[in-house]
Chains A and B, each alone.
Chain A
Amino acid sequence: MSIELIDIHKAFGPKRILRGVSLTVDEGETVSLVGFSGAGKSVTLKHIAGLLKPDRGTVVVDGLDVPTLSRKDLYVLRLQMGYVFQFAALFDSMTIAENLAMGLRKLEGMSEHDIRDRIKESLDRVELEGFENRYPAELSGGQRKRAGLARAIAYRPKYLLYDEPTSGLDPVTTTVIDRLIMRMKEDLGVTSLVITHDMGSAYKISDRIAMLYEGRVVEVGTPADIQASGSKVVRGFVEGKPEMVEEGAEEQGLSA
């Protein structure tokens, strides 16, 4: 019931994005993944859902080796996994309700009535009551993002992968989403990996925080550990000081 990333390497052509990422998310735990824009956070998340295959290393979810799973087994696993895309990735030819129904239709034993109830409940959770019949193009960016979140939680997965669930949201809505992430964990015991840029959110929602830098996880620890980190890279990142990051990278021999 855990997510294990083991020494993941991934390059796109000559661009080596991941160079040995290792990270474990234990059952029922929420881990935040932070790092600079372009560091490879989204690429890392895609490996967990089997959307990308590692060049080297592997991903183990629920004790299953994701890159080598057959399509059938992969689909069984994916129904236990909710994926919140960075840019929502809503199906734009469908209404919001139809978007949410897509995952629910794959579950055994859900009647149309159950599906409708579940859609309503999920939209309520992200404060999008009454948006069932709207099309994605009629929504604001933040609303789309929340609809994508509702779509991922609708089928009550055991694992949730959030790619920047709160970026671009106002502070109040951010708090609502943060609480939702915490409730998913408390109520349903979900195991989550959350990509975020918002350190405030990360401290609040995470059991542990991991920092991705130059293709590796350079530090993992509780929010308190991260705040007290001795690493200049981590401190520079958290405090928004590029010079400190550079200095730290040189000292630790991490630069490219």
Chain B
Amino acid sequence: MHWTRPFDSIGSGVLSAFGALGVFFGFAAESVRSLADVGTWGPLLVLHMRRIGVDSIPIALFLSTFTGIVLALQASYTFTGAIPLYFVGTLVGKTMILELGPVLTGLALSGRVGANIAAELGTMRVSEQIDALETMAYNPVAYLVVPRILAAILMFPIIVAFGNTLGITAGWITSINVLDMSTEQFVHGLQLFYKPFDITYSMIKATSFGFVIALIGCFQGFHTQGGAEGVGVATTRAVVISGMLILVLDAFWAFTLLQ
């Protein structure tokens, strides 16, 4: 073996990574182009909005409720006497809206919505249903991908808004029942550092997470290879990659919008 061989393999690894990125951006560009094909995706949009909603609302509400409760309890545990108790309201509100509402929901839904999309499209790919769409003159990206991405973009802010509301409500109920606080104190804390931009920020995050989850799920499903095993691989990848991208995006928004 020649001594440059290990470097060759690094070289080809880098090349194939770039190749994969190229395929990904090609796919994203094709999705944007297919927006023009309204006749194909339009009739399917509501269906997918409903499906993503049904898939997501219960899980998001469950998650937010418990997060709200724990936030309230941990805030009061941390503040013990040194800081006025009404800051519990501040912490619950701010943390829920700015961070945990969108991020926890996003992570949980990458496992629900993202996996679901990847498995469904992956199965359609390996059973040649996507080819069948092609032969019947349907643009499969317009038919399968666009309505799912749009539905996720539209539904995620709504889901996260519900989650935020419920999480704060759960924090409030915990505060007045367990922490010896009054409703006035909690609401005072909640309003203390509140800015309208907090909501915008939360919704921007939710929208971007919805976009990433649906796009990655569709991409992985669309490029599934092999049989049942391939569908498994695509599904796992969709969850892992969109989970990582959510965390990266989270940091990105904090750097760009909060500075």
Contacts and interface: CB of A to CB of B under 8 A. Distances in A.
A60 to B, nearest CB: 18
A51 B134 contact: yes
User: Interface range on chain B: under 10, 10 to 19, 20 to 34, or 35 or more?
Assistant: 10 to 19
A46 B129 contact: no
A79 B137 contact: yes
B131 interface: yes
Contacts of B129: 89-92
A89 B136 contact: no
A173 B132 CA distance: 24
A85 B137 contact: no
B182 interface: no
Contacts of B134: 49-51, 78
Contact of A49 (B127, B135, B139): B135
Contacts of A50: 134
Given A87-B127, A87-B128, A91-B129, A51 B135 contact: yes
Contact of A89 (B132, B137, B138, B139): B132
A78 B137 contact: yes
Interface residues on chain A, size class? 20 to 34
Contacts of B123: 92
A71 interface: yes
Interface in B133-155: 133-139
Contacts of A49: 134-135
Contacts, number: 49
A81 interface: yes
A71 B136 contact: no
B132 A91 contact: yes
A76 B138 CA distance: 11
Contact of A83 (B124, B127, B135, B138): B135
Nearest to B135: A83
B139 A71 contact: yes
Contact of A75 (B124, B127, B131, B137): B137
From B124, B129, B132, B135, residue with most partner A Cβ within 10 Å: B135
A71 to B, nearest CB: 7
B135 A106 contact: no
Nearest to B123: A92
B174 to A, nearest CB: 43
A106 B128 contact: no
Nearest to B132: A89
Nearest to A152: B135
Centre residue among A82, A87, A102 by max chain B CB count within 10 A = A102
A92 B129 CA distance: 9
A103 interface: yes
Contacts of B132: 83, 85, 89-91
Contact of B136 (A76, A87, A103): A103
A70 to B, nearest CB: 12
A85 B131 contact: yes
Contacts of B136: 78-79, 102-103, 106
A93 to B, nearest CB: 8
7 residue pairs, one from A and one from B, having the closest CB atoms: A75-B137, A89-B128, A83-B135, A89-B132, A103-B136, A78-B137, A79-B137
28 contacts: A49-B135, A50-B134, A51-B131, A51-B134, A51-B135, A71-B139, A75-B137, A75-B139, A78-B135, A78-B137, A79-B137, A81-B135, A82-B135, A83-B131, A85-B132, A87-B128, A89-B127, A89-B128, A89-B129, A89-B132, A90-B129, A90-B132, A91-B129, A91-B132, A91-B133, A92-B123, A92-B129, A103-B136
Interface of A: 46, 49-51, 71, 75-76, 78-79, 81-83, 85, 87, 89-92, 102-103, 106
Given A85-B128, A92-B127, A103-B137, 9 more contacts: A49-B134, A51-B134, A81-B135, A82-B135, A83-B135, A85-B132, A89-B131, A91-B132, A102-B133
